[in-house]
Structure formats: structure tokens, C-alpha cells
Amino acid sequence: MKVRKGNSREKILAAAADVARESGPGNLSLDAVAARAGVSKGGLLYNFPSKARLMQALVEHYLAEFQSSLTDAQADGEGLLAAFVKRALDECENKKADKADWIFSAIAEDPDFLSPLRAFHRQLFSRLKEDTGDLRSVLICYLAIEGLRSMNLFDFDILSGSEQNLLLESLLEIAERAR
């Protein structure tokens, strides 16, 4: 039963991100999420008693997945900065449907959802500095990647695919030298 609940929660979270991305920030409806996830509205509300709780869980899930991918890379002996750059490289190469447009929906629901994002990025930036000890490399890599993510988020990518790849490969070289 517990596995099923976890699967339902995962399906609902994935559906919520898809619906938010497709319908635009602030237009997420619980009915649309339930339909996309293939669950009843009651099933959705059992897992997430309100739209605010659903959006909060979406933010928490995103941050936990992001953190987990970095932790896994470190467990494999990779430096944190290189893992951060490689994650960005993977996201760009895969052009994931995991684009974080849904974050606008979360913020529209409750601007306080920026707080865990801010805290996560402050902690990540501190960890990057501690792990490498090379502030210049951390600044270059972190700000370039977050710039790419912002361009993607606001849908004004001005770099061609080859330019983006060149940038990310250069950042990876910087990150690997910084270790």
C-alpha cells in the first residue's frame, strides 16, 4: 500500500509540473492535475489537501531530486562543482520536459515558495565554495549555469545548441581543474 501511495504521489507531482508548464503560470487547476495523473480529485486531495500543499510538495520534490543527483555524483568520487556542471549539461542535452516553468505557478500560488529555493541555492553555493576552495571557478560556473537556466525559463535562449555545448564543456573543464 505504501508503494502505491508513493507512486500516486509521484504521478500527481509529475502531472502537476506538466499541467503548470502547459497551461501557464498561475493557471494550474486541481481537476486538470487529477485528470492528467489518472487519479480522482479525492485521491489527489488525499495526497495533497490543497493546491498550496501540492505546489509546496512540487518545490520540495524538485529540490530533493536536484540534491540527490549531486550527492550521487559525489558518492561516485566526483567533485560537487563538476557534478553541478554535468547536471546542467545533461539538462541541456536532453532538453528535458523538466523545464521548471511550474515554479512560476508555485510562486503565483504563494510567493513564500521562493524561500526554500533561496535557502537551497545559498546552501548549494556555500557547499560549492567549500568543496573546491576556488571562488573564481565557482562564480564562473554557478553564474553561467544559472544564467542559462534563466534564459531557458524565460524562453529567450539566444545561444545556439553548439554555443551552449561549448559553454558547458568550458565550464566542465573549469570545474574539473578547480578540484
Pairwise CA distance, residues 174 & 81, whole Å: 9
Q: What pLDDT shows up at residue 83? A: 92
> Mean pLDDT for each 10-residue chunk of the chain (179 residues)?
59 88 76 93 93 87 88 88 88 61 70 86 94 94 91 83 90 92
Q: Where are the domains of the chain?
A: 52-178
Task: Give the whole-angstrom CA distance, residue 63 versus residue 117.
Answer: 8
DSSP state of 146: H
Q: What percent of the chain has pLDDT over 70?
A: 88
Q: Give this prediction's pTM.
A: 0.78
